[in-house]
């Protein structure tokens, strides 16, 4: 199975449906969680990244994510439907994804926590260059009192060769203001294929300032991101709403 996973390659996306750093927290066994992702680009690229693709500027991308806690260390989920509200007001269906998340149980109680997430997705032609794509997302983090440091060294693929695996790391540094509120800085990047990284100016890099609220199975995450390279949208706003059933 490992050989099959590592024979993946990158896929060029028009936009992204999920802007989030995974922290190894999962839904309790037997419970269902709904996480609703929405990302809006007030100022960004005025041309589609792929032929016939979504123009990033003034587009809203999002997806409802449904997760089920299978055990204390395994969560299964689906993203359905991935959608875009384009700059001219058209609603488009972009695809669907399945995922399996394996973590160290009770991550919030551990100093060092870790996990790995696997995803398999189907993409509409205007959303990505490949109809099928996948992701391997390792999770490693540490709790240092009120401070959390988390890294997700993500590998993306369209199943076409090890050397073309796309390296798209994400990282988060958070500070807990109280039991309910936290502030964070998050960095998202796309360096391109492992066999040859893109030139610095062509890499995607965005830095987000984030405010989190969480209480009794409900959560809100709001962030404003600034693009750091010319290959990145200048300004992106994200809103994530979470609820356990």
What is residue 12's predicted lDDT score, i.e. its pLDDT?
A: 56
Radius of gyration of the chain (CA): 17
Do 227 and 205 meet the contact criterion of CB atoms below 8 Å apart?
A: yes
What is residue 66's predicted lDDT score, i.e. its pLDDT?
A: 99
How is residue 132 annotated by DSSP? E
Residues 185-201, mean pLDDT to the nearest whole number: 95
How far is it, in rounded angstroms, from Cα 97 to Cα 120?
Answer: 6
What is the SS3 assignment for 197-208?
CCCHHHCEEEEE
Listed in sequence order, the residues at least 6 apart from 65 whose beta carbon sits closer than 8 Å to its beta carbon are 18, 34, 35, 36, 37, 77, 78, 79
Q: H or E segment at 68? A: strand 60-69
Q: How confident is the model at residue 8 (pLDDT cuts 50, 70, 90)?
A: very low
- Maximum C-alpha span of the chain: 48
The CB-based long-range contact list for 48-54 (8 Å cut-off, 24+ gap) reads 48/14, 49/12, 49/13, 49/14, 49/15, 50/12, 50/13, 50/14, 50/126, 50/128, 50/129, 52/125, 52/126, 53/14, 53/126, 53/127, 54/14, 54/15, 54/84, 54/86, 54/92, 54/94, 54/126, 54/127
Q: How confident is the model at residue 52 (pLDDT cuts 50, 70, 90)?
A: confident
pLDDT > 90: percent of the chain: 84
What is residue 13's predicted lDDT score, i.e. its pLDDT?
A: 55
Closest CA to 229 of 172, 190, 173, 184: 190
Q: Locate 216 and state its tokens.
A: 């009794």
Do 152 and 114 meet the contact criterion of CB atoms below 8 Å apart?
A: no
pLDDT at 3 over 80: no
Report domain extents, the chain. Answer: 2-244
Task: Domain 2-244: state its class.
Answer: mainly beta
pLDDT 10s digits, 122-134: 999 999 989 999 9
């Amino acid at each position: 199975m490992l050989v099959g996973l590592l024979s993946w390659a990158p896929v060029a996306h028009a936009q992204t449906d999920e802007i989030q750093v995974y922290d190894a927290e999962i839904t309790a066994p037997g419970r269902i969680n709904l996480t609703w992702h929405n990302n809006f680009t007030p100022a960004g690229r005025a041309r589609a990244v792929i032929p016939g693709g979504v123009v990033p500027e003034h587009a809203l991308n999002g997806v409802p994510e449904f997760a089920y806690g299978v055990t204390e260390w395994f969560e299964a989920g689906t993203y359905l439907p991935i959608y875009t509200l384009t700059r001219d007001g058209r609603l488009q269906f972009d695809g669907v994804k399945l995922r399996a998340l394996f973590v160290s149980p009770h991550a919030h109680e551990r100093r060092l926590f870790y996990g790995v997430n696997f995803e398999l997705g189907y993409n509409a032609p205007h959303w990505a260059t490949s109809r099928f794509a996948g992701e391997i997302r390792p999770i490693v983090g540490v709790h240092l009192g009120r401070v959390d440091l988390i890294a997700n060294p993500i590998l993306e693929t369209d199943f076409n060769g090890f050397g073309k695996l796309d390296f798209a790391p994400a990282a988060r540094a958070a500070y807990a203001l109280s039991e309910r509120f936290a502030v964070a800085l998050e960095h998202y990047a796309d360096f391109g294929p492992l066999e040859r990284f893109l030139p610095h100016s062509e890499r995607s890099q965005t830095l987000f300032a984030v405010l989190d609220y969480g209480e009794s199975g409900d959560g809100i995450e709001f962030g404003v991101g600034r693009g750091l390279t010319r290959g990145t949208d200048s300004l992106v706003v994200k809103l994530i709403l979470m609820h356990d059933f």
